[in-house]
Amino acid sequence: MITQFLLVKTFRLILLIAAVATLSFVLVSSSPVDPVDAYVGAAMLRISPDQREVIAKRWGLDRPPVERFGRWAGQMATGNFGVSTIFNEPVLSVIGKRFITSFWLMALAWSLSGALGFGLGLIAGAREDTLLDRSIRLYAYTMASTPTFWVGMILLMIFSVSLGWTPVCCAWPPGLSAEQATLWQRLHHLLLPAITLSLIGIAQITLHTREKTIEALRSDYSIFARAQGESTIGIVFRRALRNVALPAVTLQFASLGELFGGAVLAEQVFAYPGLGRTTVEAGIRGDIPLLLGIVLFSTIFVFTGNFMADLIYHLVDPRLRKATGAIS
Amino acid sequence: MLDIQDLSIRFTRYTFGLKKKETCVVQGLDLSIAPGQVMAVIGQSGAGKSLLAHALLGILPRNAQVEGRVFFKGKPLTPERLSTLRGREIALIPQSITALNPLLRVGVQVARAARLSGISKKDAPTTVNRAFSRYLLQKEVATWFPFQLSGGMARRVLTATATVGMADLILADEPTSGLDPATAKEALGHLRELADTGKAVLLITHDIEAALKIADMVTVFCAGTTVEVASADDFKGLGQLRHPYTRALWNALPANSFIGTMKPIERSPNTTGCPFQTCCNEQDAVCGHSTPELKHSSAGRVRCHHA
Ligand SMILES: Nc1ncnc2c1ncn2[C@@H]1O[C@H](COP(=O)(O)OP(=O)(O)OP(=O)(O)O)[C@@H](O)[C@H]1O
Ligand SMILES: [Mg+2]
């Protein structure tokens, strides 16, 4: 049963990648950005129409789109994503390096928002309609309707500019390379972007956990637990924790897409050289190979999140676990 | 053991806008049980039987207001006192099997109830094992999840959960619904045994015939009000029953060839008088004016102007 689950998921992933690849190809082909212009850049004026034609021919731009797509897809399938024009480096190696920088930012923000959001949601739900609950809700609603870049700028102004506690930009001190920076320096630079990113993520998980906690506390099993003499704290921690945590963990994994989107903005504000910032650069400067590479990469990234969410449900929920043959 | 006088339960609801609406679902409920007694509570669906059990344990939703006098072991049952008694001296067998948490193993849930009822950590495993074998549940059932239980097993697990401790008052809310006659008989037999050890059992049920086999006394609810208290023996024939509603219930039993039909009786908010008046064929002017008192009548009690 579990193998069937994996097979279905793999098949879906392949379909999804094919669809995303086709769509991006169509979008790029019909975009006003001329690939030759983008390639020659500032030298555009010093180049003759003949030379342009030579380049276009070498790149196969005189071929019909379907044939171009076939060749491109074929190259992708063998793992050749081309060379990034702005970094002059293979696309995969650019994505790899930048993703690792982003990964620590996203991982820290993700765990912070997950843990804090879940905790706040539990407290708000267990103390429904008290002052505490109202304050938590007010905070969550405010955060849910605040743009990431704005929060980032406010934090930057307070902690970096006025107080000078945290650096104003980058992932490590300017002038050093990634390898030269100490772990402490990197954490110091990571702190503010990660907090910005998590502050926004907290809202959704808090409100969701609060709803689930209230629902759990009103359920028949909680009422029966109360009849057995269990206190509210006891019900929340000894009875309903699993019922609340399971959907919360699922939501947290399924929200990787939003995390990625948030990272693009947060990295932009803090000039943090991660994948999000690279995406913006690739877009602005017309680096088509890199842009396509990032699109496919983020597709797989978001898919993995949803896949983890499903997998956890299958492994933890006894009703589904029975169906997948994991319990007797 | 337990004495309830003039209990009423009201629900507050906010309808459109911020208009507060109060519905009174239980009013003038009286009931008492002595140790060693099985008191059956009968009445149609919606008569307020489950609400009574939940009100006693203080587990009604927050929009419910309970009024009335309740004495447990001779002393008033205040909310503070109740919080120390819940699960220790008063236990509930819930009506629905959704009272089991779907994500926790059955054994864990019963063990937690045992700990809450005051059994030490050391003794809990053996007590749980004993409860399981008393209700003919195999040992491995403890490692199962509720969805793996049959309906009958789930009921036995609920009964085991409620009786794993040493509660003196057991509120059994329809413990036999959904069971086949043989299993139902066994479940009732267990309740009788519990009563014979000196506990008091409140048996809420639809199944009058089955209940009469083990009950000592019967309290009849009609639309949230106690209309009659009779001994089980009074149900041997129509002549001993004092209230027309009880007689109608009795007539509707299969053994008594279903004379007369029962339609649901609901408490309408603004009528005064006897709750049963609209369906009663002994009704006259006085029944519409005033609610009759619950009078003593030989061994039982009755709330009727004409009894
Ligand atoms: N939370 C609530 N809010 C408003 N009304 C309620 C609420 N809970 C129960 N009631 C009403 O109270 C009445 C009595 O309900 P109760 O559950 O006690 O019935 P019952 O006698 O146990 O019936 P059954 O035999 O079907 O279990 C019903 O009319 C019901 O609609
Ligand atoms: Mg009921």
Nearest CA in chain A to B61: A218
Amino acid at the residue A12: R
Max CA distance (Å), chain A: 87
Q: What percent of chain B has pLDDT over 90?
A: 52
Residue type, position A138, single letter: L
Residue indicated by tokens 């509570």: B41
Encoded amino acid at A9, one letter = K
User: Taking chain B, what is the end-to-end CA distance rounded to the nearest angstrom?
Assistant: 28
A–B: how many Cβ contacts below 8 A?
72
Beta strand B38-42 pairing with B217-222: parallel
pLDDT at B216: 93
The residues facing B302 across adjacent strands are B228, B295
User: Side chain identity at B9, as an amino acid letter?
Assistant: I
Q: What percent of chain A has pLDDT over 70?
A: 95
DSSP notation for B257-305: TT-S--------TT--S-TTGGG-TT--HHHHH-PPP-EEETTEEE--T
Positive or negative: CA dihedral B187, B50, B146, B109: negative
**Whole-Å CA distances, B49 to B29, B30, B94:** 10, 12, 12
Least confident residue range of B12-26, B71-85, B209-223: B12-26
Ligand 1 surroundings by CB, under 6 angstroms: B 11, 25, 43, 45-51, 61, 95
Which one of B86, B94, B161 has the shortest CB-CB distance to A229?
Answer: B86
Residue of higher predicted confidence among B101 and A182: B101
pLDDT value of residue A322: 66
Contact: A243, B100; criterion CB under 8 Å: no
Measure in Å the smallest separation between the Cα of A153 and chain B Cα atoms.
41
* Nearest to A135, CA basis, from A147, A123, A145: A123
What are the structural domains, with CATH classification, of chain B? 2-39+47-84+221-302 (3.40.50.300)
Q: Where are the domains of chain A?
A: 2-77, 94-324
A243 touches chain B (CB under 8 A): yes
Test A319 with B102 for CB contact under 8 angstroms: yes
**Confidence category of residue B81, pLDDT binned at 50, 70, 90:** very high
Q: Chain A interface, mutation test: which of B81, B96, B101, most A Cβ atoms within 10 Å?
A: B101
Q: How far apart are CA A83 and CA A90, in angstroms?
A: 4
Ligand nearest to the CA of A223: 1
Return all residues near B191 (Cβ < 8 A) that are at least 6 apart.
B38, B170, B172, B175, B201, B203, B214
Residues of chain B in contact with residue A223, where contact means CB-CB under 8 angstroms, are 54, 59, 94, 99
Contact assessment for residue B142 and residue B106, using Cβ atoms and an 8 Å cutoff:
yes
Contact A85, A39 (CB under 8 A): yes
The contacts of residue A298 (CB under 8 Å, 6+ apart) are: A257, A260
**Ligand 1, atom 19, residue with closest C-alpha:** B46
Closest-lying ligand 1 atom to the alpha carbon of residue B25: 12
Q: Are B72 and B9 in contact (CB under 8 A)?
A: no
Contacts of B117 in chain A (CB under 8 A): 228-229
Please provide the average confidence, as pLDDT, over all residues in chain A. 87
pLDDT in tens, B188-203: 998 999 999 999 999 9
Phi, psi of B77 (to 5 degrees): -90, 90
**Alpha-carbon distances, residue B203 vs A298, B58, B60, B287 (angstroms):** 61, 18, 19, 30
Residues of A in contact with B61 (CB under 8 A): 218
Relative to the CA of B266, which ligand 1 atom is closest?
Answer: 29
B 137-166: CB under 8 A from A: 145, 147-148, 161
Whether the pLDDT of residue A1 is over 80: the answer is no
Residue B259's pLDDT is what? 59
d(CA B146, CA B103): 8
Distance from the alpha carbon of residue B50 to the mean position of ligand 2, in angstroms: 4
Q: What pLDDT shows up at residue A328?
A: 46
User: With an 8 Å Cβ cutoff, is A146 touching chain B?
Assistant: no
> What pLDDT, in 10s, does the model give residues B44-76?
888 889 999 999 999 999 889 999 999 999 999
Ligand nearest to the backbone CA of B49: 1
Least confident of A106-110, A165-169, B65-69: A165-169
pLDDT at A160: 87
Give B177 to chain A, closest Cα distance, Å: 17
Residue B290 has pLDDT above 80, yes or no: no
**Residues B305, A83: Cα–Cα separation, whole Å:** 98
pLDDT digits 0-9 by tens, B229-268: 988 888 887 777 888 888 888 877 777 765 555 666 666 6
Cα A224 to ligand 1 centroid, rounded to whole Å: 17
Range with the poorest average pLDDT among A39-48, A180-189, A242-251, B241-250: A39-48
B54: amino acid identity, one letter: H
The phi-psi region of residue A251 (left if phi > 0; otherwise alpha if psi is between -120 and 50; otherwise beta) is: alpha
Integer Cα distance of A128 and A211 in angstroms: 10
Residues of B in contact with A317 (CB under 8 A): 103
Rounded to two decimals, the pTM is 0.85
Q: Which residues neighbour ligand 2 (ion) by CB within 5 Å?
A: B 50, 95
Query: Could you tell me which residue, A138 or B25, shows the higher pLDDT?
Result: A138
The per-residue pLDDT for range A226-285, each reduced to its tens digit, is 999 999 999 999 999 999 999 999 999 989 988 988 888 888 888 888 898 899 988 888
Whether chain A has a CB inside 8 Å of the CB on B175: the answer is no
Contacts with A194 (C-beta within 8 Å, 6 or more apart), sequence order: A105, A108, A109, A112
Fold entry, domain A94-324? MetI-like fold (1.10.3720)
Q: Atom 18 in ligand 1: which residue has the minimum CA distance?
A: B48
B-chain CB neighbours of A318 within 8 Å are: 102-103, 145, 147
Q: Would you call B94 and A224 a contact, using CB atoms and an 8 Å cutoff? A: yes
Q: Which residue of A has its CA nearest to B141?
A: A328
Locate the chain B residue with the closest alpha carbon to A241. B103
Residues of B in contact with A241 (CB under 8 A): none
Phi, psi at residue B251, to the nearest 5°?
-65, -30
| pLDDT attached to residue A64 | 82
Helices (H) and strands (E) in chain B, counts: 9, 12
Residue A177 in contact with partner chain B when CB distance is under 8 A? no
Could you tell me the CA-to-CA distances from A252 to A118, A195, A259, A306 in Å, in that order? 10, 16, 10, 9
Which letter does DSSP use for residue A159 in this model? I
Q: What is the pLDDT of residue A107?
A: 93
Within an 8 Å CB–CB cutoff, is residue B108 touching chain A?
no
